[in-house]
Amino acid sequence: MRRERSGYPIGLVAALLFGASAPFSKLLLDSVGPQLLAGLLYFGAFVAVAPFIATRPQRQEAGLRRADVPRLAIIVTTGGILAPVLLMIGLERVTGVAGSLLLNLEGPLTLVVGIVVMHEYLGRRAGFGTVAIFAGSALIGLRGGAGTIDGLGVVLIGLACLGWAIDNNLTQAISGRDPFQIVAVKTGVAASVNISLALVRGETGASWGIVGGALVLGAFAYGISILLDAYALRLLGAAREAAIFATAPFAGALLAVPLLDESWSGLDLLAAGVIAFGVVLLVADRHEHLHAHEPFEHDHRHVHDAHHQHDHPSGVDPTQPHSHPHRHEHLVHAHAHVSDAHHRHRHPDGPAS
């Protein structure tokens, strides 16, 4: 369970990095078009991640397969091409604080897709924690930020969050693959498509300083954030990751104070306390019961533990991390677990997980 719990701090860092992108992006939108900015952000992410692809053998990660192409195509289209462009256009129409807070929609949408479509499971304590996080986020949204809210901007940011919700769940489904490869493919294709379309549409004229700023922001808020999020999805499942990622707007709302000359209210502080309480409940949740593993085959990075007992060719040390296609036989046991790739089963008080 210690390994699974490491997903919480990883997910929190990913959320904070992504949350910081909204106010900074809004500043950059004063000098660059929305589609070009989306492309530059993802190009910065690609530059940050791509150099590590050659080190995959040292990381002992399972590489992408041809069977992953359909999921990758949807991930790139929804989360890499459409969502960031919709977000940039939406940010042009709302305030920086409002844009940051509207990113809260990604969490509930990811959670709904994860539970309803992907059949993930949340226990009672984790469920209460999730509700507290989303309730705290809603409290922040009550103040809305300075200025009026543009309806189309809200819809566009909501659609961007839906795109990322689909992206999150499909990424979790292939999270056993090398996260560096997943992120490199997603960001590389998204950057190429959006920059090309932006130039065709005439979104030119950005200074080298703006381009450099966008690349640096993309490297951290998209590249490193998406990479860490892929690891969190692997360790926690999409539903728990969604709850942790709901903390992302705090970074944006915090940075909006110095960047956009806004301030926090008493309601914001109350919301912060509610969200912190929810995170504590979620992290403290312990889900343990007798469950059965049905036979199946897959490929991912692993060491030999209770779930991995199989033969290897000579020269492979099963006590060290390694990856290869392997088969899981029928197994019945009890231990603490989350809805990761090895634990999708029925519960007496819920759906398959």
- 174's tokens: 């292939």
Least confident of 38-42, 198-202, 291-295, 340-344: 340-344
Q: How far apart are the first and last CA of the chain?
A: 17
pLDDT of 319 over the 70 cut: no
Residue-wise DSSP of 308-341 = ------TT--TTS-EEEEEEEPPEEEEEE--SST
Residues 196-242 have pLDDT tens digits of: 999 998 888 789 999 999 999 999 999 999 899 888 888 877 767 77
Q: How far apart are CA 169 and CA 184, in angstroms?
A: 18
- Higher-confidence residue: 39 or 334? 39
CA angle 173, 179, 185 (to 5 degrees): 95
pLDDT of the residue at 283: 64
Q: Quickly tell me which residue has 């939406």 as its tokens.
A: 90
Q: Express as a percent the part of the chain with pLDDT over 70.
A: 66
Query: Which of 80-94, 121-135, 196-210, 213-227 is predicted with the least confidence, judged by mean pLDDT?
Result: 121-135
Extents of the domains making up the chain: 2-288, 295-329
One-letter amino acid of 193: V
Q: For 164-199, how does the pLDDT look when each residue is reduced to its tens digit (9 = 90+)? A: 889 988 888 887 788 888 999 999 999 999 999 999
For residues 155 and 308, what is the distance between their CA atoms, to the nearest angstrom? 46
pTM of the model: 0.71
pLDDT in tens, 24-50: 888 898 899 999 999 999 999 999 998
Mean pLDDT of the chain: 77
At residue 8 the predicted structure's pLDDT band, cuts being 50, 70 and 90, is confident
* CA dist., res. 195 & res. 112, Å (int): 32
Per-residue b or e along 49-87, where b marks 16 or more CB atoms closer than 10 Å to that residue's CB: bbebeeeeeeeebbebeeebeebbeebbbbbbbbbbbbb
Supply φ then ψ for residue 85, to 5 degrees. Answer: -65, -45
